[in-house]
Chain A
Amino acid sequence: MTRTSPHQTRPSGQAPEESTVETEPDARFTFANERTFLAWNRTALALVVAGLAIVQLLPPFPGLPWGRHLLAVPLIVSGAVLSVGSFAEWRRNQRALRRGERLPRSMLPRALAACIAVIAIAAALLVLLSATRN
C-alpha cells in the first residue's frame, strides 16, 4: 500500500515519545471505527428484538409463567449495556487513533459471549424444567 494520508505522518518537529500529541487520524481508520460501532449497535438491537420476540411471540413455558421474562429481560438489558459500552469503546479507540497509541483491548466480545452463553444455558434449563412439569 503506497497510498497514505497526509494526516497519518506526524509533523517532523515533534518528539515521538510525546503521547498526548493529538493528530487527526487517517480517514479510513475513523470510518472503520464508526463501522465497528454501528456493527455493535446492530448486535445490541438484535438482542433487544430477541427479547421482545420471546415475550410477545413465544407461548408460555408450561408450569413456568415467569420463564419468558427470565430470558427476555437479560437480553434487553444486555442490548442496552452493549450499546453504551460500544460508544465508550468508540471514544477510546478514536482517542487512541488520534494519539497514535495502540488500540485498547476490547471487553465487548467477552461480555457478549458470556451473555449469550448464560442466556442459552438458562433457556436450556427452562425447556428441561417445563418438560418435567408437563
Chain B
Amino acid sequence: MTPPDRPPEDMEDIDPGLARERTELAWSRTGISFAALGAAVLKEIPVAGALVLAMSALIFLLGHRARPSRRVGGHDRKRHVLLVTVAVAAISVIALALALFAGTSPAPPH
C-alpha cells in the first residue's frame, strides 16, 4: 500500500538525521546514569535509592516518547527537561547529605 516512488520505512524520511532516534538514545543513557547512581545510593539510604531508581525508569520512559510515532512536531519539552534538572539537583542534595552526615567507610584514624 506504499506509494511506488518512495521506499517504505525509510527512517531518513520520517526522522531526518535520525534526530529523534538519537535523542531517544540520549534519554536512555541518562536513565542508565540515574540507575547507576540509584544503585550506589541504595546501599546507604534504601528509600532514596529506590526513589532514584524509579526516576531512572521514568526518564527511560520519557525518552521513548521522543519516538517519531508519538512526537510529530519539534516542540520543545520544557517540562521533561525541567524534571531532569530537578531530579539531578535533588540527587545532589541527597549525595551531599550522605557525604556530610552518613558514616564514611572506614572511620578515619585519630
Contact = CB atoms under 8 A, between A and B. Distances in A.
B99 A24 contact: no
B99 A51 contact: yes
Contact of B104 (A55, A62, A73, A79): A55
Main secondary structure of the interface of A (DSSP, over half): helix
B99 A83 contact: no
A133 B84 CA distance: 43
A51 B94 CA distance: 12
A81 B99 CA distance: 17
A46 interface: yes
B81 A37 contact: yes
Contact of A35 (B23, B76, B84, B99): B23
Contact of B37 (A28, A30, A33, A48): A48
A57 B105 contact: yes
B30 A34 contact: no
B22 interface: yes
Interface residues on chain A, size class: 35 or more
A27 interface: yes
A83 B88 contact: yes
Task: Classify chain B's interface size.
Answer: 35 or more
Given A30-B76, A52-B41, A87 B95 contact: no
A3 B76 CA distance: 21
A35 B96 contact: no
Contacts of B78: 91, 94
23 contacts: A26-B74, A29-B74, A31-B22, A32-B19, A33-B76, A34-B23, A38-B26, A41-B30, A45-B34, A52-B41, A52-B99, A55-B105, A56-B43, A56-B104, A57-B105, A59-B105, A60-B106, A60-B108, A65-B110, A69-B99, A76-B92, A79-B92, A80-B88
Interface of B: 16-17, 19-20, 22-23, 26-27, 29-30, 33-34, 36-37, 40-41, 43-44, 66, 73-78, 81-82, 84-85, 88-89, 91-93, 95-96, 98-100, 102, 104-110
